[in-house]
Structure 1
Amino acid sequence: MSRTDTVDTVVAGAITLADADLDPYITHASTRSWLTGPGLPADSGLFSFAELTRRGGPHTVADSTGAPGDRLPAELRDQLVIGGLLGPGCLETESVLLDGATGEVSTTYFFHDRPDLMDRRPLAPSLPTLVRFAAATDELAGLRGQFAAYAGRYGTKAVAEASRQLLAIFEEGAAGAPAPFWRMAALIRPLALVAGPGTASGLSLDLPVRLLDHAFGRGAVVRFEEVDFPATLTHEPTRRFLRETGLPEDGFLFSLDTDLPLRTLAEYYADDCRGELPADLPLARADRLIRLGHLVDDHSLLVDGTTGAVFSWNEPDAVLHPLNKDISTLAFTLWLLHRERSIDEESGHALTTDTYDQLALTMIQVLSSIDPTGTTADADWHYWTELFQDEAGGVL
Structure 2
Amino acid sequence: MSTTDTEVGGAITLTDDELFSYITHDGTRQWLTGAGLPGESTLMGFGALRDRGLRRVVELAGDAERLAEELQDQLVIGALRTFDRDLESIVLDGVTGEVSTTSVRPDAALMDLSPLAPSLEALTRFAAATEELTVLHGRPAPLTSLMPLTPRDTRFGPKAVTEASDRLSAVFEDVAGDRVPPFWRMAALIRPLARIAGPGEGLTLDLPKRLLDEEFGAGGIMRFEDVDFPTALTHEPTRRFLRETGLPEDGFVFQLDTEVPLSALSEYYDERPEDFTAAELTVAELPAGADRLIRLGHLLEDTSLVVDGSTGAVLAWSEPDLLLRPLNADISTLAFTLWLLHREKSLDAAHGLTDSYDHLAVTMTQTLATVDPLACDPAPSLPGDDGRRYWPEIFEDRTRGALYA
| TM bucket normalised to smaller | over 0.9
Partners of 1:287 and 1:250 in 2: how far apart? 26
Q: Bigger CA drift: 376-385 or 183-192? A: 376-385
Match of residue 329 from structure 2:
325
Contact 2:314–2:329 (CA under 8 A) maintained in structure 1: yes
Match of residue 277 from structure 2:
none
Partners of 2:149 and 2:332 in 1: how far apart? 21
Match of residue 307 from structure 2:
303
Match of residue 111 from structure 1:
105
Match of residue 383 from structure 2:
none
1:149 pairs with 2:148: yes
CA shift at 1:262, angstroms? 0.5
1:101-156 Cα offsets, whole Å, 9 max, x none, are 110000000112x1111111111110000000000001232224313536621111
Structure 2, gaps ≥5 residues long: 135-140, 275-279, 381-386
Partners of 1:241 and 1:221 in 2: how far apart? 12
Partners of 2:338 and 2:86 in 1: how far apart? 27
Partners of 2:306 and 2:129 in 1: how far apart? 38
1:59 pairs with 2:55: yes
1:93-112 equivalences in 2 (<5 Å): 93-112=87-106
Alignment equivalent of 2:40, drawn from 36, 40, 43: 43
1:204-243 equivalences in 2 (<5 Å): 204-243=204-243
What letter is aligned with 1:372? P
* Secondary structure of the corresponding residue to residue 145 of structure 2: helix
Contact 1:19–1:32 (CA under 8 A) maintained in structure 2: yes
Match of residue 340 from structure 1:
344
Match of residue 138 from structure 2:
none
* Secondary structure of the corresponding residue to residue 301 of structure 1: strand
* Secondary structure of the corresponding residue to residue 279 of structure 1: helix
1:392 pairs with 2:388: no
Partners of 1:194 and 1:345 in 2: how far apart? 21
Contact 1:140–1:147 (CA under 8 A) maintained in structure 2: no
Contact 2:377–2:389 (CA under 8 A) maintained in structure 1: no
Match of residue 75 from structure 1:
70
What letter is aligned with 1:181? F
CA shift at 1:185, angstroms? 0.3
1:36-87 Cα offsets, whole Å, 9 max, x none, are 00000011111101111121x211001112534x221111110000000001
The Cα RMSD (Å) is 1.7
Contact 2:190–2:344 (CA under 8 A) maintained in structure 1: yes
Partners of 1:3 and 1:222 in 2: how far apart? 56
Partners of 2:149 and 2:56 in 1: how far apart? 41
What letter is aligned with 2:363? T
CA shift at 1:378, angstroms? 2.5
Match of residue 16 from structure 1:
13
* Secondary structure of the corresponding residue to residue 398 of structure 2: coil
Match of residue 363 from structure 1:
364
Match of residue 126 from structure 1:
119
Match of residue 372 from structure 1:
373
* Secondary structure of the corresponding residue to residue 327 of structure 2: strand
What letter is aligned with 1:333? T
1:313 pairs with 2:312: no
Partners of 1:60 and 1:154 in 2: how far apart? 44
Partners of 1:227 and 1:66 in 2: how far apart? 63
What letter is aligned with 1:212? L
Contact 1:278–1:318 (CA under 8 A) maintained in structure 2: no
Partners of 2:353 and 2:161 in 1: how far apart? 18
Contact 1:269–1:277 (CA under 8 A) maintained in structure 2: no
Partners of 1:281 and 1:174 in 2: how far apart? 55
1:294-338 Cα offsets, whole Å, 9 max, x none, are 113431110000000001111233221100000000000000001
Structure 1, gaps ≥5 residues long: 7-11
Contact 1:150–1:158 (CA under 8 A) maintained in structure 2: no
Match of residue 9 from structure 1:
none
CA shift at 1:377, angstroms? 4.8
* Secondary structure of the corresponding residue to residue 313 of structure 1: strand
Match of residue 276 from structure 1:
281
Structure 2 CA distance for partners of 1:374 and 1:241, relative to 1, 3 Å: closer
Match of residue 83 from structure 2:
88
Match of residue 258 from structure 1:
258
Contact 2:329–2:375 (CA under 8 A) maintained in structure 1: no
* Secondary structure of the corresponding residue to residue 312 of structure 1: strand
* Secondary structure of the corresponding residue to residue 50 of structure 2: helix
Structure 2-normalised TM-score? 0.91
What letter is aligned with 1:321? R
The alignment covers a number of residue pairs equal to: 382
Contact 1:88–1:377 (CA under 8 A) maintained in structure 2: no
* Secondary structure of the corresponding residue to residue 126 of structure 2: helix
Partners of 2:390 and 2:329 in 1: how far apart? 13
Partners of 2:281 and 2:74 in 1: how far apart? 59
Partners of 1:167 and 1:232 in 2: how far apart? 47
Partners of 1:214 and 1:384 in 2: how far apart? 23
* Secondary structure of the corresponding residue to residue 296 of structure 2: strand
What letter is aligned with 2:379? D
1:213-246 Cα offsets, whole Å, 9 max, x none, are 1111111111100110000000000001001110
* Secondary structure of the corresponding residue to residue 320 of structure 1: strand
What letter is aligned with 1:58? L
What letter is aligned with 2:310? T
CA shift at 1:281, angstroms? 2.9
